[in-house]
Chains A and B, each alone.
Chain A
């Protein structure tokens, strides 16, 4: 229970830090981005100006702390401000459209990548003195170093441009009627290349983590004992070694989630996939600061919650944690 309380405390504190950062970053920057923006946007509707002012607290005579309080209050009410580039749509409506695409794409890709990577990791650790295993490890060490967005470009070039098997971008064919079978398949076809990008780039990390964990576990005495007892090798591999090696891998999974999500965002930008990542890119390009900040908050919150879930998974899976030990 102490573990659970600590993790909840950490989650809440991390959310608080993210929210606070979000408030202070625009206010701490050298120069005055808000004034710059207002100066540049001659002849924009007055209401739009107000949205910008509200986002930055420009012209507000309130002391910083009062502004901060108002910001927190608005957040609690779910008021994220108004998008500048899509004026007068509230930011949360813009986000609402993008979130399902991102969650669908990244969720699926990350789960596939984790399971595939972990399985391969077990395999290469078990047969680690074979040529194939060394080759796999070497290959993924190299592939893992590709920037996500670059791998996306590569796949677009070869599998969508040279060999037009897959679409160049977007998430569906716009002409199709939503809800039909055809639309569903078009969504699937559009998702394959972006998903492949995320899977290929992130799988290396799981493979290498799992391999190292496995090798560490395989050197333990109880494995030697199990071998000496003449237990079937399959049983040793799965129940004795892999089961124990996977726990640190889940912790690692939680910790690098932020990194994977970052890569996913870039993948969306490259594929013009209409999720949160593309939206962030457009917000940065059009200097839509309220939208940009809302996206940062949303992504942080999502990653923090996912992390918390992984921590809970550890609580359920690891008897040492469950029984209140360290």
Chain B
């Protein structure tokens, strides 16, 4: 069953294309130090080289008679080294060229290197948040869907309420109060504001599965609740869990970029969101530096598309009506 879904997934053209984009960006993130030609944070290249090394004289400084048979001498030796340090300042606000594939910032940082390193934070925050949200949502959905009754009523009520409370202003307000700026607060804020969508979808699936005959039979046969939940209900909703993971990750990448663009993240780290923040705050737009703000948006959209395509594919696999006839 799981294997079938996977092979259907790979055979699906949309899924494959989406997966390829994701693999590409993951590769960039993993091998960032090998790909990026410059340090993303500095505006100069320092080359340090030893030019000459000269062994100095050896002089005896001290002589000590420890006892009748032993003598101790201390020698001091000096080595003279000549270093060469060549500092090349990178051009400021440079257009894309062969040296700087995506140009440089107003402060002279290489944008291609920033984009490459930025992939790390952006992807990591997105995937971790996506996972966090999905696990949170799945737990709530299983609790609500399986136990039903009051538990379900309460979880459903809060899901429906938080679903309609607009999450962006909520995120902004929470972030504005947090004095610690960093990646972890962002993951928490994003996760805690984006669980309702997934919870709602997953819960209705649990409820529907719970009323299927095979689950009823197991219950009558006296199987333990945990067995029913994890062996009978969960495997039948893998595709939906995947879909909710993709959606949450996509939303997290968007949300992260937004919070960072507004300066509510840690602006000294390098991610696609902070690149946009610095572009906006350095007047990139009105100095015509298109190379500064164009790439982050395009890359965010590419990742978003990748997750959307994989989602479509899952939809098509689980809902044959949508397949091309």
Interface residues of A (CB under 8 A from B): 10, 13-14, 17-18, 21-22, 25-26, 29-31, 33, 36, 128-129, 141-147, 149-151, 153-154, 156-157, 161-162, 168, 212, 215-216, 219, 254-255, 257-259, 261-263, 265-266, 269, 280-281, 284-285, 287, 289, 292-293, 295-296, 299-300, 303-304, 307
Contacts and interface: CB of A to CB of B under 8 A. Distances in A.
B126 to A, nearest CB: 12
A30 B301 contact: no
B165 A14 contact: yes
B257 A147 contact: yes
Contacts of B257: 147, 150
Binding site secondary structure of chain A: helix
Contacts, number: 155
Contact of B322 (A17, A212, A255): A212
Given A141-B309, A145-B304, 7 more contacts: A14-B165, A21-B170, A145-B308, A154-B297, A258-B164, A259-B167, A299-B166
Given A150-B297, A258-B166, A141 B179 contact: no
Contact of B160 (A10, A128, A262, A303): A10
Contacts of A168: 286
B195 to A, nearest CB: 14
Given A150-B276, A266-B258, A284-B262, A145 B305 contact: yes
B55 interface: no
A284 B176 contact: yes
A149 B180 contact: no
Contact of B164 (A36, A284, A303): A303
Interface in B248-305: 250, 254, 257-258, 261-264, 276, 280, 285-286, 288, 290, 293-294, 296-297, 300-305
A33 B305 contact: no
29 contacts: A10-B161, A13-B157, A17-B158, A17-B161, A25-B173, A26-B177, A29-B179, A141-B312, A142-B305, A145-B302, A149-B258, A150-B257, A150-B296, A153-B297, A157-B285, A157-B290, A161-B286, A216-B321, A258-B164, A258-B167, A258-B168, A261-B168, A280-B169, A284-B262, A284-B264, A292-B173, A299-B169, A300-B169, A300-B170
Contact of A292 (B176, B178, B290): B176
Interface residues of B, number: 53
Contact of A300 (B166, B290, B303, B324): B166
B228 interface: no
Contact of A293 (B173, B263, B300): B173
B247 to A, nearest CB: 12
Contacts of A295: 169
Contacts of A33: 177, 179
Nearest to B304: A145
Contacts of A156: 285
B261 A304 contact: no
A141 B172 contact: no
Nearest to A304: B164
Contacts of B317: none
Contacts of B177: 25-26, 29, 33, 289
Contact of B180 (A30, A219, A285): A30
Contact of A146 (B160, B261, B301): B301
Contacts of A215: 321-322
A146 B250 CA distance: 11
B309 A18 contact: no
Contacts of A31: 179-180
Nearest to B319: A216
A257 B168 CA distance: 11
Contact of B261 (A10, A147, A161): A147
B88 to A, nearest CB: 30
B322 to A, nearest CB: 6
The 3 closest A-B pairs by CB, nearest first: A145-B304, A262-B168, A258-B166
A261 B173 contact: no
Contact of A145 (B161, B176, B250): B250
Interface in B146-178: 157-158, 160-170, 172-174, 176-178
A255 B160 CA distance: 10
B187 to A, nearest CB: 16
A135 to B, nearest CB: 14
Contacts of A25: 173-174, 177
Nearest to A307: B164
A149 B258 CA distance: 8
A108 B321 CA distance: 35
A259 B267 CA distance: 25
B303 A258 contact: no
Contacts of A154: 294, 297
